[in-house]
Chain A
Amino acid sequence: MDANIEKHHKIMALYDLHSDSILKYVGMLIQDFHKAEDITQDTFFKAYQSFDQFQGQASLKTWLFSIARNSSLDYLRKQQRSKLLFTILSHSYKERTRSTEQVVQINEDIEQLYSALDKLKFTYREVIILRKIKEFSTKETAEILGWSESKVKSTLSRGINHLEKLLLKEEHYEELS
């Protein structure tokens, strides 16, 4: 079989298996599920382009998540550079909600948790998504983020504490209203 077609087949098989998970990961990370679709496509395309360089040191899934994370960071950096970040932040909740509804359906039960996650500092959010939501091991998370395992553990612990505080705060506000 033509090498390119074989590679193409492998990438589409990976797309079938992991695109849902990658899309949700990117969507939660950048808080924009419309853009997350573009980044998901970009992730698999980059994987196709560099498939021959994949060394097999990490699993294919971990490798794909690393590519998705780098693409997400590139996107966020571009957003910052173009000074659109302020606009996005000032309308973040409204924009995100509208954007989310059209691309993914989110069960009401997790809305509060999803909203609290959005308000977390980026490093806390990304480590919580990988370790607690995607259930990667500490080692795999460290590989994806390019951190040490001890940094993963300490950042995760601090992130979970912050998330709890945010949820308590929101519950308090709910009770007041």
Chain B
Amino acid sequence: MKNSHEDKGYLSHSLKQMDSQMEWTRIRKGQLGAKLVQQITRENKKQRKRLWVAPTLSFSFAAFALIFIATILSSSITTNQDSNSPILQEGIHFNYEKNHNNQREPVLTEQGREQSVYPLDADQTIDTIIGEPNITLAITNIDGKQQIESQAFYLTTTAGRMISVHTQSHSQPINQWVEAFLPHKHFPSKSYTAYEVDIAGQHGVIQLNNDVNHGSSERLTVITDKNIYYFYSSGTFYPEEMIRLAEMFDYENEW
């Protein structure tokens, strides 16, 4: 920066360069993107609830009674569904431990790790991956229902490059998500290309960046009945590597 302000032209040039001289890591961008997806999903759930609740206020007593019965029936169905879902049990699959901020957070036990969707031995099959993944867990209680979100981070043989997988639950039909992740049929974006891939019988979408000047995230997205898995790379994105990793996931173990 010495002599940078000898003339305003140079200062303007230095200011123009500032943006490109700062780098926000792709992992953090991916993490924030996953949080945004969760927030929007929660908002949609709330909206659906509001749409359902508002008209019921104007119903007569008879209608109210019918809804009341229907609600009891539907809640009993929900309970049954929940009991059939794979359950993460405290003390068996995870324990609460205090982090460096002295806050309690769930940490997977060895059994929990082994029974997770994430392969622990991916490094045995994929040469570019080193060791077991670091898996983080977040358990929230939304509307009395336990919601589990998790992330896995795989180190690679390239210094500084990491593969991160962000998992979030969803309740929409799979084909709607696939359609949403693919380019718009009539107005496709020029900044990225996306195409559908089969991932061990699950629906996947590869998204590649066409525009090097914009940081559009390259990723593989796998959509199952329960979850959406976002696969990111903090460095170069190799679609074949991601597909191989995604194919190793044990989707029957989904939480």
Binding site for B on A (CB under 8 A): 1-2, 4-6, 8-9, 11-13, 15-17, 19-21, 23-24, 27, 37, 40-41, 44-45, 48-49, 103-107, 109-114, 128, 132-135, 160, 163-164, 167-168, 171
User: Which B residues, 1 to 15, have Cβ-Cβ distances below 8 Å to chain A?
Assistant: 1-2, 4-5, 8, 11-12, 14-15
By beta carbon, the residue of chain B nearest A105 is B23
Residue B127 CB within 8 A of the other chain? no
CB distance from B184 to the nearest CB of A (A): 8
User: Which B residues, 112 to 163, have Cβ-Cβ distances below 8 Å to chain A?
Assistant: none
17 contacts between A and B (CB under 8 A): A2-B176, A8-B37, A8-B40, A16-B33, A17-B216, A19-B32, A21-B19, A23-B24, A41-B32, A48-B43, A105-B23, A112-B4, A113-B14, A128-B15, A132-B15, A167-B4, A167-B11
Docked CA distance A26–B179 (Å): 32
Please determine whether B28 and A37 come into contact, CB atoms closer than 8 angstroms.
yes
Residue B65 CB within 8 A of the other chain? no
Please determine whether A9 and B22 come into contact, CB atoms closer than 8 angstroms.
no
Interface residues on B, range: 35 or more
User: Which B residues, 170 to 214, have Cβ-Cβ distances below 8 Å to chain A?
Assistant: 172, 176-177, 179-181, 189, 191-192, 214
Please determine whether A37 and B32 come into contact, CB atoms closer than 8 angstroms.
yes
By Cβ-Cβ distance, the 6 closest A-B pairs, closest first, are: A107-B21, A132-B15, A9-B180, A112-B1, A16-B216, A20-B215
A110 and B21 contact, Cβ closer than 8 Å, known pairs A41-B39, A48-B40, A132-B12: yes
